[in-house]
Amino acid sequence: MNDAADSPDLLLRERMAAELPSKMLAHIDRVVSLADEFARMHGLDVARARLMAQGHDLVRAVKGKELLRRAEARGLAIDPVERDEPVILHGPIGALELAERFDVSDADVLFAIHWHTPGHPDYTLEAWAMFIADKVDPHKVERWPALAEVRDLASTSLEAAALRYLDLRLEEAIERRHSVHPMVTLTRNALLRRLGHLAP
């Protein structure tokens, strides 16, 4: 067996395939391939970015009501925005289940997966590679063409791409009068500061 065939993301893919709908597996495959591309482009840890991408949507197909039940059963702190939109909980619950049922133990990988919907101020560049890859899946760009700008920025700076994505999300939330997860704001503030958009 060569290195690629027993790489951690491929082994995880094999185990996840038994419980995921084929559409979700296809999305994950596209995200792994884009995360790989972004990680290579920026000289990052490709194996780690691929593993983050492979695991990120383990429980994305689970219904919101069930995600809320699992979060409550575990005694997780649930933000009011998560209570209104329990789908956001697929990150935290997915990270916990990857550790418990799929032997994923890399703390950076689990952290990146936990926060992959809003991002996080402490994200590594590998985590941003996975985050952007998820947001610019070609099927999503087709549905929301503004995402093409996020994809194009990613070749210059993953953090600038992430900031653009969070700006777009915020603009959309304001337009539609949707609530915004508090971590979106904290992450955006951190990126603004890091990218020098704020006065010191």
Footprint of Fe ion (CB under 5 A):
57, 60, 134
CB of 56 to Fe ion, least distance (A): 5
CB of 198 to Fe ion, least distance (A): 29
- On whether the CB atoms of residues 105 and 99 are closer than 8 A, the answer is yes
CA atoms lying within 13 Å on the CB side of residue 160: 11
User: Could you tell me the two tokens for 178?
Assistant: 């949707």
How far, in Å, are 51, 86, 92, 183 from residue 63 at the CA level? 24, 8, 14, 22
Give the angle 126-4-154 at the CA atoms, nearest 5°: 30
CB of 9 to Fe ion, least distance (A): 14
Q: Rg for the chain (alpha carbons), in Å?
A: 16
How far apart are alpha carbons 178 and 170 in whole angstroms? 9
CB of 199 to Fe ion, least distance (A): 34
CB of 86 to Fe ion, least distance (A): 13
- On whether the CB atoms of residues 87 and 67 are closer than 8 A, the answer is yes
Nearer to Fe ion, 132 or 190 (CB): 132
Nearer to Fe ion, 173 or 192 (CB): 173
Nearer to Fe ion, 57 or 159 (CB): 57
Nearer to Fe ion, 28 or 191 (CB): 28
**DSSP state letter for 136:** T
Nearer to Fe ion, 28 or 153 (CB): 28
Give the angle 18-23-170 at the CA atoms, nearest 5°: 120
User: Could you tell me the two tokens for 140?
Assistant: 């999503």
Nearest to 86 by CA among 52, 62, 110: 62
CB of 122 to Fe ion, least distance (A): 19
Nearer to Fe ion, 56 or 188 (CB): 56
